[in-house]
Every structure is written in C-alpha cells, then in structure tokens.
Amino acid sequence: MSEKVETQVTLESTGLIDLPQFDCKPFIGKEVKIAKVTEHQGSFGYYVKVETEVVTQFNGNDIAASKIFGLQEDAEGNIGWGKDTKLGVYLAKNKVDHYKDLVGKTVILQTKTSKDGIDFLDFN
C-alpha cells in the first residue's frame, strides 16, 4: 500500500475568488430522458437516485438532472415505498409500477433552489 505524501507550502497570495457557477436557465423546459436509476444506502437509510441523460458539460464534469427518493423498511425488513410517499406518487404520475421502469421516460427540466441558495437541475 502506498503512503500519501504531503508537502507543506507557503502561499504568497490567497483570498476570496470568483468561482465559476453553472447557469441552469438555458435548460429549463428542455425535454430529456431518464437515463438511470441507482439504489443507495446512506446515513438515513435506503434511497434511489433517478438521473437524466447528460445535458451538457461544465468544468469538465457531466451535468444531468437528478432526484432522490427515500425508501422505507417495514417491520419484517422489506424495503420499499408507500403509495402516498413522494416516490409512490411519482411512480403513479409516470404510470409505472417500479422505479426501475422510469428509465427511458421523458421528463421536462426545471430548476430547484437548495437551502443555501444554489440552483440545480431538477425535473418534473
């Protein structure tokens, strides 16, 4: 196993800089397809991430819209969702029985603002 090497440096000039910001506005209303749905386990339990196809690149990174839907676990240890949860409502709206069936569905891009005021791509 290789050991991480760190080097101490003295920086002559540091300070507040303007970082590039991605402008979501040109993508609002654009129709794209859902490209993938992945399952995850995080600090608060299981969830699925639904992502659209890549719409552009920014600073060398692929940009796509995404949504996160939480999953629940019942008393018997089954993992899923209720019909009245955000995921259940979204699946019914898209007329599919399972989140994996969302792949290939067409959605319309929109923006959502995070708690810290940053806009990111979302979809209907």
Residue ranges per domain, the chain? 25-123
Q: Please report, for residues 29, 41, 54, 55, 56, the alpha-carbon distance to residue 61 in angstroms, rounded to integers and kept in the order given.
A: 22, 24, 10, 11, 8
> Per the confidence metrics, is the pTM higher than 0.85?
no
Tens-level pLDDT at each residue, the chain (124 residues): 567 788 889 898 899 988 788 899 999 999 999 999 999 999 999 999 999 999 999 999 999 999 999 999 999 999 999 999 999 999 999 999 999 999 999 999 999 998 988 888 999 9
* Strands 66-70 vs 106-113: parallel, antiparallel or unpaired: unpaired
